[in-house]
């Protein structure tokens, strides 16, 4: 079977009706965006929006960058950086060929080229989806973690940074030296006030790197608009590749699978210019925080709770977990009774969003693994669950379902499931969490106390609140003694 490529597209290799192919001359497209963290989420979302507007504004192509592994470049380079975006629901799979990514650089071997590209006058936006852990921050405070190994390295070697904040600062310093205006930095990650968080981290790093040359003052002029991105993107499997190849007649080393729903809300703050995102379905607003908070607390909070409880209950996929009547009732209650009262939107808006989420979770074609969502819990819990709990505590309101989600995370990171089998816990603090769990054994009080002492997750405030500590500990005791399904039944 031929490989997806421009030559195959131009030769008319795709003849299946209904497959969308680029409606622009790709040879005329020039880069205007560098995207750090060119993973599946970006390719399912932002890159698709940009692809839709290149026929009108061809000077906004994307140069992607992989910061950790070369696998994306290795997969896409032989196919001219084209890939298939496959939208899936119960009616079937609808492929679309995306051409907005012009190149992918591997930061490990092409770091200087990446920084030089970011310093080009043509680049007006640097966007990023590097996941929560890529910001090298303390998740409980949102501040730069100056003891993070990557930050320690970048402070010692500012000319050869390895962190996303370090690479951004190095490129801005090069632009400053050349008398160029700064690019706009647009975070697309699931962080509270992601633009302000990114700005705080990058500006602090610039201060530490300055040395009196004016870098800190220059970085103060950079714009960091916040965004809210919503689309569910499961990991691609070999079965997915086979389905895409069967439909298109072309081999694609890394197609992206996603759902029909997509949403993008962006703060309109781009001094260096931007594409007309609003013409392809994005919503440009003055303040993205209400939308972002709604997504973090309802979608992401539900996702994390479902991931831990679903995995422990033996469910491999989200649609299987939400089909469990107990989990469905729990998640419905988590959103309705606990998350929604903390949000500023109208009741009708929140109820419609809740019902839409429940339907999306149940999509049988998406195959979103609970294990995938469960990754990096130490980075996710503060914004997905703990922020809502803090608001509930301040209002003297109960939070049983949210606390069960936290307790399920504690049970999950012990690394042993209910059948006694190992759990592959993927987390930057996995070794530390396992040490705590091993020291506690099956004692829920010791386990809860040990994990609550991880201030990077829980801060110094929550562990001192007796009702929080007691509620989480009691749920953890139920999980350890009765199993996840019974613990869910008792709360839902």
Average of per-residue pLDDT across 224-245: 96
Note whether 409 and 306 are within 8 A (CB). Answer: no
Asked whether residue 414 carries a pLDDT value surpassing 80, the answer given is yes
pLDDT per residue over 76-92, tens digit each?
999 999 999 999 998 99
Question: CA dist 279 to 22, 51, 56, 140, Å?
Answer: 17, 12, 10, 37
Which stretch, 19-23, 208-212, 324-328, has highest mean pLDDT? 324-328
In CATH terms, the fold of domain 289-491 is: 1.10.1040
Asked whether residue 212 carries a pLDDT value surpassing 80, the answer given is no
pLDDT per residue over 92-135, tens digit each?
999 999 999 999 999 999 999 999 999 999 999 999 999 999 99
Average of per-residue pLDDT across 458-484: 97
Q: What is the DSSP string of 289-329?
A: HHHHHHIIIIIIHHHHHHHHHHHHTT-SBHHHHHHSHHHHH
Domain made up of 6-285: CATH architecture? 3-Layer(aba) Sandwich (3.40)
What is the spatial distance between Cα 432 and Cα 57, in angstroms, rounded to a whole number?
49
What is the spatial distance between Cα 49 and Cα 324, in angstroms, rounded to a whole number?
35
Average of per-residue pLDDT across 20-44: 96
Asked whether residue 478 carries a pLDDT value surpassing 80, the answer given is yes
Which of 198, 200, 242, 204 is CA-nearest to residue 37?
A: 198
Asked whether residue 152 carries a pLDDT value surpassing 90, the answer given is yes
pLDDT band at residue 14 using 50, 70 and 90 as cut-offs: confident
Q: For residue 115, count other CB atoms closer than 10 A to its CB.
A: 25
SS3 31: strand
Residue 280, CB half-sphere, CA atoms under 13 Å: how many?
19
What is the spatial distance between Cα 440 and Cα 423, in angstroms, rounded to a whole number?
17
Which of 383, 419, 473, 414 is CA-nearest to residue 193?
A: 383
- The pLDDT value recorded for residue 11 is 85
Average of per-residue pLDDT across 362-383: 95
Asked whether residue 211 carries a pLDDT value surpassing 80, the answer given is no
Average of per-residue pLDDT across 17-22: 84
Residue 277, CB half-sphere, CA atoms under 13 Å: how many?
20
What is the spatial distance between Cα 49 and Cα 61, in angstroms, rounded to a whole number?
11
pLDDT band at residue 19 using 50, 70 and 90 as cut-offs: confident
pLDDT per residue over 258-279, tens digit each?
999 999 999 999 999 999 999 9
Q: What angle do CA 479, 484, 486 make, to 5 degrees?
A: 90
Asked whether residue 304 carries a pLDDT value surpassing 90, the answer given is yes
Contacts of 278 (CB under 8 A, 6+ apart): 284
Which of 319, 297, 300 is CA-nearest to residue 310?
A: 319
- The pLDDT value recorded for residue 87 is 96
Which of 297, 254, 283 is CA-nearest to residue 84?
A: 254
pLDDT band at residue 492 using 50, 70 and 90 as cut-offs: confident
Domain segments of the chain: what residues? 6-285, 289-491
pLDDT band at residue 12 using 50, 70 and 90 as cut-offs: confident
Q: What is the DSSP string of 256-301?
A: EEE-S--EEEEE---TT----GGGGT-EEES--HHHHHHIIIIIIH
Asked whether residue 490 carries a pLDDT value surpassing 90, the answer given is yes
Q: What is the mean pLDDT of the chain?
A: 96
Q: Which of 42-46, 139-143, 468-472 shows the lowest per-residue confidence on average (mean pLDDT)?
A: 139-143
Dihedral sign of CA atoms 410, 400, 289, 373 in order: positive
Residue 244 structure tokens: 């895409």
**Placement of tokens 């290149």 in the chain:** 54
Asked whether residue 15 carries a pLDDT value surpassing 70, the answer given is no
Dihedral sign of CA atoms 466, 470, 473, 479 in order: negative
């Amino acid at each position: 079977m031929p490989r997806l490529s421009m030559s195959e597209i131009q030769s008319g290799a795709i003849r299946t009706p209904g497959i969308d192919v680029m409606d622009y001359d790709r040879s005329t497209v020039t880069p205007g965006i560098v995207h750090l963290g060119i993973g599946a989420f970006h390719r399912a979302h932002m890159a698709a929006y940009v692809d839709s507007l290149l026929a009108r504004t061809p000077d906004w192509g994307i140069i992607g960058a992989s910061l950790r592994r070369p696998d994306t470049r290795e997969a896409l380079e032989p196919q001219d950086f084209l890939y298939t975006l496959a939208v899936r629901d119960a009616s079937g799979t609808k492929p679309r060929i995306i051409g907005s990514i012009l190149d992918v650089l591997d930061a490990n071997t092409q770091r200087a080229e990446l920084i030089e590209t970011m310093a080009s006058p043509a680049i007006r936006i640097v966007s990023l989806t590097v996941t929560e852990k890529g910001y090298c921050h303390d998740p409980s405070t949102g501040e730069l973690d100056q003891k993070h190994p990557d930050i320690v390295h970048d402070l010692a070697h500012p000319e050869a940074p390895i962190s996303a904040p370090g690479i951004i600062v190095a490129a801005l310093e090069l632009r400053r030296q050349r008398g160029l205006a700064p690019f706009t930095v647009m975070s697309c990650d699931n962080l509270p006030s992601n633009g302000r968080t990114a700005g705080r981290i990058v500006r602090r790093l610039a201060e530490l790197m300055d040395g009196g040359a004016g870098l800190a003052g220059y970085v103060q002029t950079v714009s960091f608009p916040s965004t809210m991105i919503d689309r569910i993107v499961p990991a691609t499997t070999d079965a997915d590749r086979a389905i895409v190849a069967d439909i298109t007649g072309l081999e694609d080393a890394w197609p992206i699978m996603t759902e029909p729903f997509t949403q993008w809300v962006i703060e309109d703050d781009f001094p260096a210019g931007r594409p007309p995102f609003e013409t392809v379905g994005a919503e440009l607003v003055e303040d993205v925080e209400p939308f972002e908070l709604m997504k973090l607390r309802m979608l992401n909070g539900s996702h994390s709770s479902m991931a831990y409880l679903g995995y422990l209950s033996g469910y491999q996929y989200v649609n299987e977990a939400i089909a469990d009547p107990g989990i469905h009732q729990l998640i419905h209650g988590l959103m309705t009774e606990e998350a929604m009262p903390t949000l500023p939107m109208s009741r009708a808006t929140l109820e419609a969003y809740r019902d839409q989420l429940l339907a999306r979770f149940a999509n049988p074609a998406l195959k979103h693994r609970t294990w995938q969502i469960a990754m990096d819990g130490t980075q996710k819990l503060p914004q997905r669950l703990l922020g809502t709990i803090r608001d509930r505590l301040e209002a003297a309101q109960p939070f049983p379902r949210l606390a069960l989600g936290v307790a399920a995370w504690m049970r999950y990171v012990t690394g042993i499931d209910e059948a006694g089998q190992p759990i592959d816990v993927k987390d930057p603090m996995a070794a530390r969490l396992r040490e705590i769990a091993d020291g506690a054994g099956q004692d829920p009080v010791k386990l809860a106390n040990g994990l609550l002492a991880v201030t990077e997750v829980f801060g110094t405030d929550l562990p001192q609140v007796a009702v929080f500590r007691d509620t989480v500990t009691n749920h953890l005791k139920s999980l350890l003694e009765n199993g996840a399904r019974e613990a869910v039944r008792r709360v839902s």
